Copies of this chain bind each other. A is one copy, B any other.
Amino acid sequence: MKIALDAQGADLGIAEVVAGAKIVAAEGIDIVLFGPQAEIEDALGSSRPANIAIVDAPDEITNHDEPATSVRARKQSSIVVAAKAVAAGEADALVSAGPTGAVLAASLFNMKRIKGVRRPAIAVILPDGRGGRSLLLDAGANVEVPAELLVQFAHLGAQFSARVLGVANPRVGLLTIGEEDGKGTDRVVEAGRLLADPDNTHGFNFLGNVEGRDITNGSTDVIVTDGFTGNIALKSIEGAASAVMLALVEAIKSSTVSKVGGMLAKPKLLELRERVDSNTTGGALLLGLRGVSVVAHGSSTRAGIAAAVRLARDSVAGDVTGHMAAAIAELNEHAASTADVTVGLANDA
């Protein structure tokens, strides 16, 4: 197993990505770093592990560049060269802390979509309050999507949950504004109708409608939504968690007695912060591609980079791409066989 790791794109710089590479290389994962060779060598220093290779690709696509245009034009950028290496089979998976849009474009243009997948989705792993975790998708790849895409996202997410996160028969919920049927936008209501057909939910347990609080309360393994709603839900959750942690620190500091209490509880509070921290989940997954692509947070520390690489390794080991392809093929076959029944109803593209 060999992971293509973009050395550029992380806010903390190339040295931090290289430090992350060393952590996972020491665990036996082969790494190929893509970026400016001299800088990477500098960061590696004299203790360069034998299972870390370098491909020189100094050009960097940043947040200031329009993703699709830049990816098309700048073939020598580290993210494009790395994605091409994975597409060519020279590495098994891509990991980058670069701009999500650029990683998505580079992965989509080079690895291509799984047959039958109309659009890839961004999936994120979120911790709940009970030590568990859930998968939210789409977290921002597609602003608005028709009902059939929400159904595809359900399958992509369910396969990831089952094959990588190890959840047997994952519970999949459709994110909307009420538990009753008929709540939400026309697209969501139609997706709920399609998912009510058991032939459309092989491999998972469809819970029906779920609400915002179900994302983090441990009731649901996979939460399906469009990229506009999913991105806002994700950032709302991150913001609320930060606000509570900030208020917690302020509350503890506000009296001498509670300050002493806070010092005693500090190790456990730091553990909690780490669990809430996005660095520990390993980043976002691009699902629906013919290959594994992981977007680490831009703010990733070396631990975050290492977690993202492990997530990529687990995705390859679980053959999530193959399982997603099989699930989508079966779904589309069923849709085709019932096309005479659903045509007209299902055409909201």
Q: Which residues of A contact B (CB under 8 A)?
A: 127-131, 140, 143-144, 175-177, 184-185, 211-217, 225, 227-229, 231-248, 250-252, 254-255, 257-258, 260-269, 271-272, 275-276
Q: How far is the CA of A254 from the CA of B264 in the complex (A)?
A: 12
**A177 in contact with B242 given A215-B236, A264-B261 (CB within 8 Å):** no
Q: How far is the CA of A265 from the CA of B247 in the complex (A)?
A: 13
Q: How far is the CA of A233 from the CA of B213 in the complex (A)?
A: 9
Q: How far is the CA of A242 from the CA of B70 in the complex (A)?
A: 41
Distance (Å) between the CB of A343 and the closest chain B CB? 25
Ordered nearest first, which 9 A-B pairs have the shortest CB separation?
A261-B264, A212-B235, A213-B239, A129-B243, A261-B265, A129-B246, A212-B236, A240-B240, A258-B265
Contact B258 A272 (CB under 8 A): no
Q: How far is the CA of A272 from the CA of B262 in the complex (A)?
A: 14
Q: How far is the CA of A231 from the CA of B177 in the complex (A)?
A: 6
Distance (Å) between the CB of A306 and the closest chain B CB? 23
Copies of this chain: 2
Which of B129, B184, B236, B269 meets A228, CB within 8 Å? Answer: B184
**A229 in contact with B231 given A212-B239, A261-B263, A261-B265 (CB within 8 Å):** no
Chain B residues within an 8 Å CB radius of A240:
215-216, 236-238, 240-241, 244
Contact A242 B229 (CB under 8 A): no
Chain B residues within an 8 Å CB radius of A264:
257-258, 260-261, 264
Contact A243 B128 (CB under 8 A): yes
Residue of A144, A215, A229, A247 most packed against chain B (CB within 10 A): A247
Q: How far is the CA of A214 from the CA of B231 in the complex (A)?
A: 13
Contact A245 B243 (CB under 8 A): no
Q: How far is the CA of A237 from the CA of B227 in the complex (A)?
A: 18
Can you list 17 A-B pairs, Cβ within 8 angstroms, ordered by A? A129-B244, A129-B245, A130-B243, A131-B247, A143-B185, A144-B185, A175-B232, A176-B232, A211-B232, A233-B233, A237-B240, A244-B276, A247-B276, A251-B268, A258-B264, A261-B263, A265-B265
Q: How far is the CA of A257 from the CA of B143 in the complex (A)?
A: 48
Chain B residues within an 8 Å CB radius of A262:
261, 265
